[in-house]
Amino acid sequence: MNRPRVIVNCAMSVDGKIALPTRKQLRISSDEDIKRMYKLRHESDAVLVGIETILSDNPKLTVKEKYIDNPKQPIRIILDSNCRTPEDALAVNNAAKTIIITSKKCNKKYNDNVEIIECETDDENQIDLNYLLELLYNLKIKNLMVEGGSTIIWSFLNKRLVDDLYLYMAPIIIGGANTPTMADGKGIKDIDELITLEIIEVRKLGPGILFHFKMIK
Ligand SMILES: NC(=O)c1ccc[n+]([C@@H]2O[C@H](COP(=O)([O-])OP(=O)(O)OC[C@H]3O[C@@H](n4cnc5c(N)ncnc54)[C@H](OP(=O)(O)O)[C@@H]3O)[C@@H](O)[C@H]2O)c1
pLDDT tens, position by position, for the chain (217 residues)?
899 999 999 999 999 999 999 999 999 999 999 999 999 999 999 999 999 999 999 999 999 999 999 999 999 999 999 999 999 999 999 999 999 999 999 999 999 999 999 999 999 999 999 999 999 999 999 999 999 999 999 999 999 999 999 999 999 999 999 999 999 999 999 999 999 999 999 999 999 999 999 999 8
Ligand 1, atom 46, lies closest to the CA of 53
Ligand 1, atom 45, lies closest to the CA of 23
Q: Are 10 and 18 in contact (CB under 8 A)?
A: yes
- CATH topology for 5-216 is Dihydrofolate Reductase, subunit A (3.40.430)
Closest to 156 measured CA to CA, from 179, 178, 182, 176: 182
What residue spans define the domains of the chain?
5-216
Q: Are 132 and 139 in contact (CB under 8 A)?
A: no
CA 35 centroid distance within chain: 17
- 80: CA distance to ligand 1 center in Å? 9
Instruction: Report the predicted TM-score, pTM, of the whole model to 2 decimal places.
Output: 0.98
**Atom of ligand 1 at shortest range from CA of 102:** 41
